[in-house]
Structure 1
Amino acid sequence: MSDRQEKLSTLDLVHDLATLDQALYETVTVTRTPTLDTALRRLSAAADHSKLSFAVAGLLALRGGRPRRAAALGVAAIGVASASANLLGKRLVRRPRPHRAVDSPFPHRHVPMPDSASFPSGHTASAVAFAAAVGPTLPVAAVPLGLLACAVGYSRVHTGVHYPGDVVAGALLGTGAAALVLATVGRQDD
């Protein structure tokens, strides 16, 4: 395969992924889910500025020992993920937020549209980073926090502020942030 064919193939793949991303977003926006709308809007708002994760970290820290260590690791991972998403990712990619039609069938599910770029999802990056950093130290919390992080990510699509690809990228970034924190702390413990 020539360099030109490789570039075209890569561009075709990127175009196909963007098309799929848009189609998934649009499918969510026109799907009637009245029972979920309020709950996901509230969850999305509770995850603003990692408030939900910081609340969990505070509760864990009160217990001392391993839970306190897990909380500290989780908070450190939030810091790395948030800085990576908001100071690097959003400024480098500059993807516009999803368009909300004036005649949206479910405008009551929306949260306020942030001014920042769409890619990657900082909410998802931080929620996943917290869950992925806490889990290895406190295994009993791994599944509940992982499910919560998934719900936060989906809530950002459901409430109309992110494309699914933004959420996937945020999850990958959050996982990487947690791995970096855990590896750094692991080296210091040796």
Structure 2
Amino acid sequence: MSVPSGSAPVEVRLADRLTIHRAKTGTTSLLVDVLRRLGSCDRAGYRSVAGLSTPLLDAPLRWVSDFANHSKPWFLYAGCLALRGGRRGRRGALTGLAALGAASLVVNRPMKSAGARARPDWDALRVPPRRRVRMPSSTSFPSGHSASAAAFAVAVGDLLPTHRRPLLAAASVVAFSRVYTGVHYPSDVLVGAAVGALLGRSASRTVRRLGVLDADQL
């Protein structure tokens, strides 16, 4: 069954472009086959999550997915750190928010525009109606929620190690909720989280390199 180009996985649309180029040049490409396999795995992963029989998770993960809109958990967490964490907490909070802002800027502007991927089709991919949240109007690839969550978790966790595990756990739940509620494909979430993690690590390393946090404060 053919898939409309706008809703096809990014890997499939890239493979289509390479196939056209291959036909013009008469060459073959292993990359095309790899990309098509990745696209198939992406949709299969989405269907697998949609097919989970876990009704007890529906309401909690719907709430998590909605609550994560506009990065509310991370702003609240940063506020608590700033109020109760002393100097280290304030600097950790500011670093986390800087990483979050960078992730939002990179993912929600150029990357989403370049990916131009339509959101998943709930009905075609059989997402149970009881799980669904409001479908965002933005393009699907990559996930801005996952990028922001990973950026904040990694940046703060690097500077405040005691916060690393709870933040990474919370970021993972947010990322999974986006697939579970049907608004993202798995690759959207994985790429978003990877980009966010890289930006979070860059933010924490920049703070260390500039000496914003002295060695005896780490």
1:168 equivalent to 2:183? Answer: no
Aligned to 2:91: 69
1:20 equivalent to 2:41? Answer: yes
Q: SS at 2:48's partner residue?
A: helix
Does the aligned pair in 1 maintain the 2:47–2:126 contact within 8 Å? no
CA deviations 1:154-188 (Å, max 9, x no partner) are 00000000000001001111011112212322332
**Structure with more helix by fraction:** 1
Taking every aligned residue pair, what percent have the same amino acid on both sides? 45
Does the aligned pair in 1 maintain the 2:50–2:125 contact within 8 Å? no
Give 1:114's aligned amino acid. Answer: P
1:45 equivalent to 2:100? Answer: no
CA distance in structure 1 between the partners assigned to 2:135 and 2:150 by the alignment? 22
1:126 equivalent to 2:151? Answer: no
Q: Which moved more, 1:67-76 or 1:174-183?
A: 174-183
CA deviations 1:119-161 (Å, max 9, x no partner) are 1000000000000000011111100000111110000000000
Map residues 26-175 of structure 1 onto 2, 5 A cutoff: 26-63=47-84, 64-101=86-123, 104=126, 106-175=128-197
> 5+ unaligned residues in a row in structure 2: which ranges?
1-25, 213-218
Matched pairs, number: 186
Give 1:160's aligned amino acid. Answer: G
> 5+ unaligned residues in a row in structure 1: which ranges?
none
Aligned to 2:210: 188
Structure having the higher Rg: 2
Q: SS at 2:134's partner residue?
A: coil
CA distance in structure 2 between the partners assigned to 1:68 and 1:185 by the alignment? 13
Higher RCO, Cα 8 Å, sep 6+: 1
CA distance in structure 2 between the partners assigned to 1:87 and 1:112 by the alignment? 21
1:102 deviates by 7.2
Give 1:158's aligned amino acid. Answer: Y
CA distance in structure 2 between the partners assigned to 1:93 and 1:103 by the alignment? 20
Superposed structure 1 runs of 4+ greater than 4 Å apart: 102-105
CA deviations 1:41-87 (Å, max 9, x no partner) are 00011110100111111001102221111111110000000111101
Does the aligned pair in 1 maintain the 2:142–2:191 contact within 8 Å? yes
TM-score normalised by the chain length of structure 1: 0.93
CA distance in structure 2 between the partners assigned to 1:29 and 1:174 by the alignment? 25
